[in-house]
Amino acid sequence: MFTLAEVASLNDIQPTYRILKPWWDVFMDYLAVVMLMVAIFAGTMQLTKDQVVCLPVLQSTVNSKAQPSTSGKADFTTVETTTGQGEDASMRTVSFGSAPTVTPDVPLSRATSSQYQPTESGQELKKEQKDSSGRKTNLDFQQYVFINQMCYHLALPWYSKYFPYLVLIHTIILIVSSNFWFKYPKTCSKIEHFVSILGKCFESPWTTKALSETACEDSEENKQRLTGAQSLPKYVSTSSDEGSPSASTPMITKSGFKFSADKPMIEVPSVTILDKKDGEQAKALFEKVRKFRAHVEDSDLIYKLYVGQTIIKTFKFIFILCYTANFVNTISFEHICNPKVEHLIGYTQFECTHNMAYMLKKLLISYISLICVYGFICLYTLFWLFRIPLKEYSFEKVREESSFSDIPDVKNDFAFLLHMVDQYDQLYSKRFGVFLSEVSENKLREISLNHEWTFEKLRQHVSRNAQDKQELHLFMLSGVPDAVFDLTDLDVLKLELIPEAKIPAKISQMTNLQELHLCHCPAKVEQTAFSFLRDHLRCLYVKFTDVAEIPAWVYLLKNLRELYLIGNLNSENNKMIGLESLRELRHLKILHVKSNLTKIPPNITDVAPHLTKLVIHNDGTKLVVLNSLKKMMNVAELELQNCELERIPHAIFSLSNLQELDLKSNSIRTIEEIISFQHLKRLTCLKLWHNKIVNIPSSITHVKNLESLYLSNNKLESLPAAVFSLQKLRCLDVSYNSITVIPMEIGLLQNLQHFHITGNKVDVLPKQLFKCVKLRTLSLGQNCITSIPDKVGQLLQLTHLELKGNCIDRLPATLGQCQLLRKSGLVVEDHLFDTLPSEVKEVLNQDTSIPFANGI
């Protein structure tokens, strides 16, 4: 026999799951335990004390009317005499009047002689009847046991015999139905995960600190409120319209960050002191909550399962109540039994009593009462399930009571679990909501970040860049540490992959800051910080994936001189994504756009009057529409790189102030239009490198003011004499072509200082080359040159000579006459350097400062 504890274990759930048990589930669990006790008690009583006691119903065989006798004595009649097994088994039934009596068997001789002695026998029977205390049945003990068992199964209703087992089975079904959602694998794992996270969130020190900070902010808000701020209840209830301190504040606001813009940051000592271990655990909890929400919120299986098991319990209650109520009246103390075993017992009908009848009836009534209560609770549960949409959960009350106005509403199973938790204790949901808030997470990151990145650590990361400016580069942090703004001597600040960057008013302390880099970092600024940047910032780099990532305040920096935009400005359907107006950038001089443009953004014309340099670097997308260039009348430098241009755009010829043109990495094959450059009187630098140019037209001679000409990485096979008529040419780069001969006319370029012809097929150096006595750089590497003329010593200003990759056997000793040339500037094979005389090698190995000083 099982014990109550063993059966009750079916109703056990993990203690942590109790937070998901509302009062009605708990009450139904207790009712189930009581029903189990009823079942076990009834079963125990039935097994130990349940029995039926039966007695035969005696049938009368005497005539209903007695005849009067002349002697005045009672008549008697011998009705039946049977002989069983021997003489002792014989039986005689005698009737006196209407009262039959079965007398014990007597010997046959006595029965025979009694026929002749009626008076004597009648007197003996009367005397025997008078002395007896009951009616004798002539049944022995075994026959009684047999008939009791027979009538137990035949006379008793089946419900009286199986009542305990039915109650037990029904109760077990109800228990299983109540807790099935805790056991089903697809829901059990989610519930277990939810309860685990909920418990950690409830006990996390960060929850207490965050709510404490909220209380402190609420108390200080009425004392320290910025001008124009609203009262707290109205502020919290506002949705998307709140966020900036004033209408003129240039901020891109989101609902999750709007609280910081219109009220001061309040230092709360209890919040800023957070153990590092607690901070890491809180960070992990934020990540767990985020993943759990994504995993659970897309399904409503838990809700459906709970509704289903509640409906099953309700139908079970109706079923039990319907058929059980019919059996209340069938349980009685007395029963009539007709076992049809007359050939064994001698009687056809028995009257039986059931000793457990009253007890079973009371237990059944109690069970029906419990089932009724259980059923009414099930009906209430169904009413609760369908009264409100449980697949939606709103944190509106939490948002009103705290500063975390960005806590999102949840749905489906996530919402249902929170509704269940509210029935246990609403404080759980309130504390859990802290970990759904991005504001809360950002505060935690800010505190942890400031603990990790102290002033001393940041000072160690400050370096000097190529421009000899103090630079700090912060990469992939959760935010900008407060200590950054204490580095008052910083010149350049680079923020990369910091999605939650905020620039506070403390940036006004950085009086030397003139250059800011925002790489995938849509930084937000406070009003005071914006005012400082607007007046002091000179150079800004913005790298983005989508144009929406460009902060709105960028377009309002009126004193900005240089703006670098690197990112996607073109959509998939080849439609321009417009920049916002650049009209406020009144002092912008340099605009650098690295993107995938098909046309020049029209908004660039807003800065046309004062723009001096325009750089467009495409990713290979063909730049088709260039008409906007005609409006850039003051542009002095223009770069159109990797734009798949096939010819020099005609719009360029209208730029009368153009001084430098760079058309690098395009698909230009011919430059016949170069004659039009004669109208650009100020053009001094022309870069046509990395194209597909085959020849240089003789009309290039008309570009007389040209000082630098870059034609490297093309398909040139020769240099026309017209190139050497450009008397002002100082730099000529024709590297990596297929040129075989350096024309003798090169000696005409008396102002030539840099000549690059690396990577061609030149085999002989003309003597006229060394008449260009102003040469400082001479790159002759990777050609077919076999010897270097001694006249190389005439290049007294030569500082860089590249000869590596040729077929030279030795170097001329006259290299020692090149007073500014040093070994670091001589690019040759090691064995060639060893062929020089020792005194020449000594000169080349000298410190650069000595001969340089002598030259001056």
SS3 track for 407-470: CCCEEHHHHHHHHHHHHHCHHHHHHHHHHHCHHHHHHHHHHHHHHHCCHHHHHHCCEECCCCCE
Give residue for tokens 């949901």: 429
For residue 7, pLDDT over 70 is answered with: no
Q: What is the pLDDT of residue 221?
A: 46
For residue 222, pLDDT over 70 is answered with: no
Q: How far is residue 239's CA from residue 245's CA, in Å, rounded to a whole number?
A: 15
Q: What is the pLDDT of residue 63?
A: 38
Local structure of 647: helix, strand or coil: coil
Q: Are 54 and 352 within 8 A, CB to CB?
A: yes
Single out the residue of 686, 684, 721, 678 nearest to residue 703, CA to CA.
678
Tell me the pLDDT tens digit for each residue of 483-507.
999 999 999 999 999 888 889 999 9
Tell me the pLDDT tens digit for each residue of 17-48.
778 888 888 888 889 899 888 888 888 888 88
Mean pLDDT of 776-803: 94
Q: How far is residue 136's CA from residue 129's CA, in Å, rounded to a whole number?
A: 11
Local structure of 85: helix, strand or coil: coil
State which H helix or E strand residue 26 sits in.
helix 23-49
How does DSSP assign 570-619, residue by residue? B-TTS-B-PPPP-TT-TT--EEEEEE--SB--GGGGGGTTT--EEEEEES
Q: How far is residue 836's CA from residue 295's CA, in Å, rounded to a whole number?
A: 76
Tell me the pLDDT tens digit for each residue of 318-335.
888 888 877 777 787 888
For residue 683, pLDDT over 60 is answered with: yes
CA-CA distances (angstroms) from residue 246 to 254, 263, 558, 783?
15, 11, 19, 68
At residue 692, φ and ψ (nearest 5 deg) are -130, 35
Q: Are 699 and 725 within 8 A, CB to CB?
A: no
Contacts of 581 (CB under 8 A, 6+ apart): 555, 603, 606
Q: How far is residue 591's CA from residue 632's CA, in Å, rounded to a whole number?
A: 12
Q: What is the pLDDT of residue 96?
A: 32
For residue 69, pLDDT over 70 is answered with: no
For residue 85, pLDDT over 70 is answered with: no
Of 227-241, 296-310, 332-346, 652-666, the poorest mean pLDDT is in: 227-241
Tell me the pLDDT tens digit for each residue of 433-465.
888 888 778 788 788 888 888 999 999 999 999
- Of the pLDDT bands very low, low, confident and very high (cuts 50, 70, 90), residue 633 is confident
CA-CA distances (angstroms) from residue 726 to 64, 720, 756?
161, 12, 16
How does DSSP assign 274-327, residue by residue? --HHHHHHHHHHHHHHHHHHHHHTT--HHHHHHHHHHHHHHHHHHHHHHHHHTT
Single out the residue of 275, 302, 313, 527 nearest to residue 421, CA to CA.
302
CA-CA distances (angstroms) from residue 505 to 440, 482, 516, 661, 846?
21, 11, 16, 42, 54
Q: How far is residue 23's CA from residue 611's CA, in Å, rounded to a whole number?
A: 73
Q: What is the pLDDT of residue 604?
A: 82
Q: What is the pLDDT of residue 4?
A: 53
For residue 762, pLDDT over 90 is answered with: yes
Structure tokens at 313: 């319990």
For residue 61, pLDDT over 70 is answered with: no
Q: How far is residue 707's CA from residue 693's CA, in Å, rounded to a whole number?
A: 20
Mean pLDDT of 149-170: 84
Contacts of 707 (CB under 8 A, 6+ apart): 684, 685, 728, 729, 730, 731
Of 204-213, 292-301, 724-733, the poorest mean pLDDT is in: 204-213
- Of the pLDDT bands very low, low, confident and very high (cuts 50, 70, 90), residue 167 is confident
Of 174-183, 260-269, 274-283, 384-393, the poorest mean pLDDT is in: 260-269
Residue 433, CA atoms < 13 Å, CB-side half-sphere: 29
Q: How far is residue 129's CA from residue 354's CA, in Å, rounded to a whole number?
A: 30
Mean pLDDT of 259-287: 57
Structure tokens at 417: 């679990």
Please give the single-letter amino acid code of residue 752. Answer: L
Q: What is the pLDDT of residue 614?
A: 93
Q: Are 136 and 102 within 8 A, CB to CB?
A: yes
Q: What is the DSSP letter of 512?
A: T
For residue 854, pLDDT over 50 is answered with: no
Residue 338, CA atoms < 13 Å, CB-side half-sphere: 0
At residue 756, φ and ψ (nearest 5 deg) are -120, 120
Counting other chains too, the contacts that 735-739 makes at CB distance below 8 Å and 24 or more residues apart are 735/759, 735/760, 735/779, 736/712, 736/760, 737/711, 737/712, 737/713
Local structure of 814: helix, strand or coil: helix
Local structure of 522: helix, strand or coil: coil
Q: What is the pLDDT of residue 579?
A: 66
For residue 849, pLDDT over 70 is answered with: no
Q: What is the pLDDT of residue 594?
A: 92
For residue 112, pLDDT over 70 is answered with: no
Of 162-171, 206-215, 757-766, the poorest mean pLDDT is in: 206-215
Q: Are 712 and 689 within 8 A, CB to CB?
A: yes
For residue 105, pLDDT over 90 is answered with: no
State whether the Cα torsion 647-652-656-662 is positive or negative. Answer: negative
Computed over every residue of the chain, the mean pLDDT equals 79
User: Whole-model pTM?
Assistant: 0.62
For residue 70, pLDDT over 80 is answered with: no
- Of the pLDDT bands very low, low, confident and very high (cuts 50, 70, 90), residue 855 is very low
Tell me the pLDDT tens digit for each residue of 811-844.
999 998 998 999 999 999 999 998 899 999 898 8
Q: Are 187 and 305 within 8 A, CB to CB?
A: yes
Q: Are 493 and 514 within 8 A, CB to CB?
A: no
* CA 143 to chain centroid: 80
Single out the residue of 473, 641, 606 nearest to residue 541, CA to CA.
473
Residue 393, CA atoms < 13 Å, CB-side half-sphere: 26
To the nearest whole percent, how much of the chain has pLDDT over 70? 79
State whether the Cα torsion 228-229-233-238 is positive or negative. Answer: positive
Q: How far is residue 387's CA from residue 392's CA, in Å, rounded to a whole number?
A: 12
* CA 331 to chain centroid: 62
Tell me the pLDDT tens digit for each residue of 496-539.
998 888 899 999 999 999 999 999 998 899 999 999 999 999 99
Buried b (16+ CB within 10 A) or exposed e, 627-655: ebbebbebbbbbbbbbbebeebbebbbeb
Of 588-602, 739-753, 781-795, the poorest mean pLDDT is in: 588-602
For residue 258, pLDDT over 60 is answered with: no
Q: How far is residue 552's CA from residue 257's CA, in Å, rounded to a whole number?
A: 16
Q: How far is residue 389's CA from residue 385's CA, in Å, rounded to a whole number?
A: 8
Start-to-end C-alpha separation, the chain: 115
To the nearest whole percent, how much of the chain has pLDDT over 90? 32
Q: What is the pLDDT of residue 462?
A: 93
Q: What is the pLDDT of residue 735?
A: 96
Local structure of 3: helix, strand or coil: coil
- Of the pLDDT bands very low, low, confident and very high (cuts 50, 70, 90), residue 213 is low
Rg, C-alpha atoms of the chain: 54
Tell me the pLDDT tens digit for each residue of 569-614.
875 544 445 566 788 888 899 999 998 888 887 778 778 888 999 9
